[in-house]
Chain A
Amino acid sequence: DAGVTQSPTHLIKTRGQHVTLRCSPISGHKSVSWYQQVLGQGPQFIFQYYEKEERGRGNFPDRFSARQFPNYSSELNVNALLLGDSALYLCASSLGGGAAYNEQFFGPGTRLTVL
């Protein structure tokens, strides 16, 4: 079975632009979470989606938004890009729902560089 996939692998944008990152979860997983990892730090939680509904949001500005589609894939959108948005964006999938102890499985990430 394929793991979590993310696209694109790398992306270069300029300040003020917007970006869309995509994630496909492991087959059978209904929960998708997004994390931002700045160089030298641990990942920071941005969003969690389950069954197409937002179930959690981290401490990120409204420029960040996401959605989940009926096939459980997800998009992360960032508007009005700032230099500080340069980071590795990680997507993770888990079973979600009533499972009390869900292991998260991460994709390879999208490296976003804002110039």
Chain B
Amino acid sequence: SQQGEEDPQALSIQEGENATMNCSYKTSINNLQWYRQNSGRGLVHLILIRSNEREKHSGRLRVTLDTSKKSSSLLITASRAADTASYFCATDRSNAGKSTFGDGTTLTVKP
């Protein structure tokens, strides 16, 4: 079974609103990465957060990590229609390259 689980499975919001996606995992990790995927194509790397980090920012993206709860969240602020995609979290127990993915959150941003 997959290590990570994203919540919610689907999210629909209006342009300009914030979107929050959550990820839970089962075992200890070395790092956690968030990816975006458009229409079943390749994954675009968004952010890597290390197990000793609690929060990371990149542009309109904010990622938090709570290792005590084995959970992470991805916040997209001021969403745009172009943010419509599937978002996946992936965990690595050692170094990257053997990632375990959840089944993703499908985000729809309506113009």
Contact = CB atoms under 8 A, between A and B. Distances in A.
- Binding partners A and B: yes
Contacts, number: 83
Q: Give the residue among B35, B45, B95 with the most A Cβ atoms within 10 A.
A: B95
A109 B95 contact: no
A104 B99 contact: yes
B42 interface: yes
Contacts of B88: 42-43
A21 interface: no
A50 to B, nearest CB: 7
Contacts of B45: 103-106
Interface size of B as a range: 20 to 34
B15 interface: no
B41 A48 contact: no
Contact of B96 (A58, A101, A111): A101
B50 interface: yes
B48 A100 contact: no
B104 A42 contact: yes
Interface of A: 4, 31, 33, 35, 37, 39-45, 48, 50, 55-56, 58, 88, 90, 92, 94, 96, 99-109, 111
14 contacts: A33-B99, A42-B101, A42-B103, A43-B101, A44-B2, A56-B98, A88-B40, A90-B42, A94-B96, A101-B31, A101-B48, A104-B99, A106-B43, A109-B42
